[in-house]
Structure 1
Amino acid sequence: MPNGSTQTIAAPCDAEQIQTACRRATGGTLSVDGSDAACDSVTMIHLFEGDAFLLLSDDAPAIGVAHGDGETSAVLEVIDTAPLQLRERVRSLIWLTGKLFEVPADMQRELAVEIAGDHPDERLLDIGHGYTMIRMAIESAVIASTSGAGAVPVETLACAEPDVFWAFEGDWLAHLESDHADLVHQLARRFPPALRTGRVRPLRLDRFGITFRIETADSDDDVRLPFSRPVARVADLSAALHALAMHPSLDHLM
């Protein structure tokens, strides 16, 4: 971190990473304690305060559990995958544990409209047409990545928000790799010398900075370059990336 009273925030906290991963996830896997049935596929996940609203097919066994007494625990696993086709796409694993509850049928469509205001997703249109929404009251949250694993208090998770660029990250990383090889090359000059050989791939982009994956013949290594300050608007991302590329030192390197 740079010296002085102003510190650069290098990366999102674990709670924000969980919120972001669940918001952009294309699905998850739900397993119920004591059930011999195969794990259920979750089509969509929306976190709100201390709850996770889950969209499942009508024939998923977990829906029957949600109509029960609320005493059976379940575990939702979410795999955060990189938008680009990397050699190893998994960026983090998330496990949410809690109890399952039904969402009354006459409220599901209304709730879907409310969710769509913050989390627009065409899969919400499937409610009542082969898919059902249930609620998980979250009791614990854990995230694991290459930097380690950690538990997140439910209260902290409930107060966190997804990264402001969660919906644009994939398009931005693809655009950076396909159309701005020169900028990627400039940014790679800020890597430690030992990591300047290999194929450089954009891995993660958020309001605090950008992470690259360096693929060599026998290893994958990640390097994160934080912005000098968090970026709040899509229009400012390009300027932040170019400023990072032109920075003459490695003071912000993580």
Structure 2
Amino acid sequence: MGDSHSWTAVPGTAERARSVLAAAWSCAVTADGGREEFVGAHTVDEDGRVHLRVPEDSSLRTAAICAPRGEPSAVLEFADVAPVPVRHRVRARLWLAGWFAPEDDHLAFHATRVVLRDPSGAAVVALDEFAAAAPDPLATAEAQLLTHLADAHPDAVERLTRLVRHDSLHGAVRVQPLAVDRHGLTLRIERVRAHGDVRLPFHAPADDVGQLTERMHVLLTQASAAACPGALQWQRTDRDG
């Protein structure tokens, strides 16, 4: 699949990893043979270090206190889930392997390995690159931006498909906004038994929501000037998860 644009800048792997971490509201921790899910319990430093608040009686806290300091003993997992209902909503998973150290009223996690996995495969992120990278400036606003686009402006989503290559829309039954970052918007094109993604890059990076609005207006203007592809004859269906 492709689109009619020539500039296809995408976030780097380290930036994507930091964006997943910045936007995640929950995480799963595997340590000492057990696994616990924590919701709204972690914060992230500017260098990507995770701080986790756990109950006093948590087995994770006990394991962290008893584990040999500096030895990898835990894995944190964060899921990047599409905010708009689409098939296969998990867009990526981020794993941090390392060890916990008790600090005041929380546990500080010291990563020794960072792995990001998305549909293109798994990639190890160098620790220095991970620490130096900044999350995408739209990462924490993305969920609200995409759900608003899908719910309030389905006509705009349909218009944007005019920028998608004709053969990419063959057999499409539904198109939804899947992701947005400073470099572009990604659409999920669903067919009866398959799906694919198309990226529509912006003409310049968007460093905040105001700039994103301008970039989207440019895309919509380009779409309005494009011929409507004849292959786009999807049936409107109820959303699924």
Calculate the TM-score normalised by the size of structure 2.
Answer: 0.81
Partner of residue 236, structure 2: none
Partner of residue 139, structure 1: 112
Whole-angstrom CA distance in 2 between matches of 1:198 and 1:55: 44
User: How has the CA–CA distance of structure 1 residues 217 and 55 changed in structure 2, closer, same or farther, with 3 Å as cutoff?
Assistant: farther
Moved more, 50-59 or 219-228: 50-59
Structure 2 residue ranges without an equivalent (≥5): 1-5, 227-241
Q: Tell me how far 1:77 sits from its aligned partner.
A: 1.0
1:181-196 correspondence to structure 2 within 5 Å: 181-196=154-169
Q: Does 1:41 align with 2:40?
A: no
Local SS of the residue matching 2:115: strand
Whole-angstrom CA distance in 2 between matches of 1:231 and 1:183: 19
Q: Tell me how far 1:59 sits from its aligned partner.
A: 2.9
Whole-angstrom CA distance in 2 between matches of 1:211 and 1:89: 13
- Is contact 2:72–2:97 with CA below 8 Å preserved after alignment? no
Partner of residue 61, structure 1: 59
Q: Does 1:213 align with 2:210?
A: no
Partner of residue 127, structure 1: none
1:134-173 correspondence to structure 2 within 5 Å: 134-173=107-146
- Is contact 2:83–2:143 with CA below 8 Å preserved after alignment? yes
Local SS of the residue matching 1:236: helix
Whole-angstrom CA distance in 2 between matches of 1:9 and 1:217: 28
Whole-angstrom CA distance in 1 between matches of 2:168 and 2:8: 23
Q: How many residues align?
A: 214
- The code of the aligned residue for 2:188 comes to R
- The code of the aligned residue for 2:130 comes to L
Partner of residue 12, structure 1: 11
Whole-angstrom CA distance in 2 between matches of 1:152 and 1:198: 37
Q: Tell me how far 1:192 sits from its aligned partner.
A: 2.3
Whole-angstrom CA distance in 2 between matches of 1:168 and 1:244: 20
- The code of the aligned residue for 2:64 comes to A
Partner of residue 29, structure 1: 28
- Is contact 1:19–1:161 with CA below 8 Å preserved after alignment? yes
Percent identity between matched residues is: 31
Whole-angstrom CA distance in 2 between matches of 1:186 and 1:172: 17
User: How has the CA–CA distance of structure 1 residues 192 and 58 changed in structure 2, closer, same or farther, with 3 Å as cutoff?
Assistant: farther
Structure 1 residue ranges without an equivalent (≥5): 1-6, 106-132, 250-254
Calculate the TM-score normalised by the size of structure 1.
Answer: 0.77
Q: Tell me how far 1:180 sits from its aligned partner.
A: 1.5
Cα shift readout 1:174-215 (whole Å, capped 9, x = no counterpart): 111122222212211112222222200111111111111111
- The code of the aligned residue for 1:92 comes to A
User: How has the CA–CA distance of structure 1 residues 24 and 58 changed in structure 2, closer, same or farther, with 3 Å as cutoff?
Assistant: farther
Cα shift readout 1:115-145 (whole Å, capped 9, x = no counterpart): xxxxxxxxxxxxxxxxxx2111111111111
